[in-house]
């Protein structure tokens, strides 16, 4: 079984429309490419970003070490 990660983690990413379009293309491309692999059971990405936003890592990077 494979936990498939997307390319995002541990960084703050742009919310600009052009960048979001590129992300959408990247995700669609990889899901289409890997969709038929029976071992892929979870698609994931950005969980570190959600934790970072919640804990304030991007406002105070020293918190990420704790």
Instruction: Note if 26 is an active site residue.
Output: no
5, 17, 48, 50: the active-site residue: 48
Q: How far apart are CA 21 and CA 59, in angstroms?
A: 26
Q: Please tell me whether the overall predicted TM-score, pTM, comes out greater than 0.85 for this model.
A: no
Cβ(41)–Cβ(3) under 8 Å? yes
Cα–Cα distance for residue pair 24/1, rounded to 1 Å: 25
Measured between alpha carbons, how far is 2 from 12 in angstroms, rounded to an integer? 26
Per-residue pLDDT of the chain (66 residues; tens, 9 = 90+): 888 888 776 677 777 899 889 989 998 998 999 989 999 998 887 677 777 777 777 676 555 555
Show me where the domains of the chain are located.
2-65
Is residue 18 within 8 A of residue 58, CB to CB? The reply is no
- The predicted structure's pLDDT at residue 39: 93
């Amino acid at each position: 079984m494979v936990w498939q990660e997307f390319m995002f983690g541990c960084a703050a990413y742009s919310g600009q429309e052009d960048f979001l379009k590129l992300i959408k293309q990247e995700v669609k491309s990889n899901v289409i490419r890997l969709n038929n692999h029976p071992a892929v059971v979870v698609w994931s990405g950005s969980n570190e970003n959600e934790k970072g936003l919640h804990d304030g890592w991007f406002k105070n990077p020293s918190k990420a070490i704790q």
